């Protein structure tokens, strides 16, 4: 099975592109329509192969329940929420602009059935080994300030009600804020290093009321690992990456290629009634903390030796 994490449903800008992303997900799963139907049944879902062939031959959005069953059958179950959120965003755009999308004509059913029969006649393809690539941040080129404008524009974020409730200790994907536990009015967000030594954006702590963009999205990628995405209405999407020797070592910046961004473990801190977490870069033995244990606005986040100090405890709150 291919690296499903490389495929983001948020890249789709309309219903046709969303269905195309679903087609890519199917191809990466390495499963035929019949195998997907059987896998869905094992998952407790109903996903007839004729229905799936029909969905993937159209340019209209699938029903949410069918989409969820399809994503689970493809092996991307940890990102079902992301696929559903992306679908709702597009559905809301369609409703706002032109009302409900017209249903396709009867020729689509014929095309879908023919497509399914053609594939099934070739027989099942062998399933590839499922895996996730852990990438090293130091191998990536710098993301300069101007490069933000080259990122994919994810300005049409899913509509989610704002809130400040602390996330469950069992984390799932979604829009969040990351706040130092001892200064919960501050959020990790887009800023610059205070010495002016680096031209690109880095993660700093600023008042949450001022940190409305970029929005932060927590994406699970399996094996208790997460990517931390930043979504900016003009600059697009980037994933927080720990910088290497050639930059300001240890600080975090958004990089364009999220598949090469830093993967983080979010570990619940022991004996912490606030429900805080440690952010542990998967490629190192360190913890994310605040430079010099600083509590002031604008202080930078950094990958440093784990000490158990208060600056290395963070609240993950739903946004």
Write out pLDDT tens, residues 153-199: 333 333 333 333 333 455 656 889 999 999 999 999 999 989 888 88
Q: What pLDDT sits at residue 256?
A: 83
pTM assigned to the model: 0.50
Residue 92 clears pLDDT 90, i.e. is over it: no
- Checking if the pLDDT of 105 tops 50, the result is no
Instruction: Label residue 20 by pLDDT band (50, 70, 90).
Output: very high
Three-state secondary structure along the chain?
CCCHHHCCHHHCCCHHHHHHHHHHHHHHHCCCHHHHHHHHHHCCCCCCHHHHHHHHHCCCCCCHHHHHHHHHHCCCHHHHHHHHHHHHHHHHHHHHHHCCCCCCCCHHHHHHHHHHHHHHHCCCCCCCCCCCCCCCHHHCCCCCHHHHHHCCCCCCCCCCCCCCCECCCCCCCEEEEEEECCCCCEEEEEECCCCCCCCCCEEEEEEHHHCCCCEEEEEEEECCEEEEEEEECCCEEEEEEECCCCCCCCEEEEECCHHHCCCEEEEECCCCCCCCEEEEECCCCCEEEEHHHCCCCCCEEEEECCCCCHHHCEEEEEC
pLDDT-based confidence at residue 223 (cuts at 50, 70, 90)? confident
Asked whether residue 5 carries a pLDDT value surpassing 80, the answer given is no
């Amino acid at each position: 099975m291919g690296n499903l994490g490389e495929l983001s449903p948020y890249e789709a800008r309309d219903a046709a592109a969303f269905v195309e992303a679903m087609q890519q997900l199917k191809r990466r799963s390495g499963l035929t329509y019949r195998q997907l139907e059987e896998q869905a049944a094992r998952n407790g879902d109903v996903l007839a192969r004729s229905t799936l062939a029909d969905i993937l031959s159209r340019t209209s959005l699938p029903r949410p329940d069918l989409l969820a069953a399809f994503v689970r059958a493809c092996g991307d179950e940890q990102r079902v929420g992301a696929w559903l959120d992306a679908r709702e965003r597009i559905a809301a755009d369609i409703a706002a602009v032109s009302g409900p999308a017209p249903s396709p004509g009867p020729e689509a059913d014929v095309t879908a059935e023919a497509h399914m029969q053609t594939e099934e006649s070739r027989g099942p393809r062998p399933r590839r080994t499922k895996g996730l690539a852990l990438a090293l941040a130091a191998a990536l080129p710098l993301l300069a300030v101007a490069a933000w404008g080259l990122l994919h524009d994810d300005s049409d974020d899913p509509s989610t009600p704002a809130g400040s409730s602390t996330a469950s200790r069992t984390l799932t994907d979604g829009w969040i804020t990351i706040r130092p536990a001892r200064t919960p009015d501050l959020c990790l967000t887009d800023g610059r290093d205070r010495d002016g030594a680096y031209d690109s954006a880095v993660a700093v702590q600023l008042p949450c009321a001022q940190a409305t963009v970029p929005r932060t999205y927590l994406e699970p990628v399996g094996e208790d690992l997460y990517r931390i995405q930043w979504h900016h209405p003009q600059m697009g999407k980037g994933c927080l990456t720990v910088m290497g020797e050639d930059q300001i070592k240890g600080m975090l910046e958004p990089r364009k290629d999220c598949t090469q961004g830093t993967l983080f473990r979010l570990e619940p801190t022991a004996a912490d009634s606030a429900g805080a977490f440690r952010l542990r870069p998967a490629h190192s033995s360190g913890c994310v903390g605040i430079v010099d244990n600083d509590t002031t606005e604008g202080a930078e986040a950094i990958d440093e030796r784990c000490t158990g100090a208060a600056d290395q405890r963070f609240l993950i709150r739903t946004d």
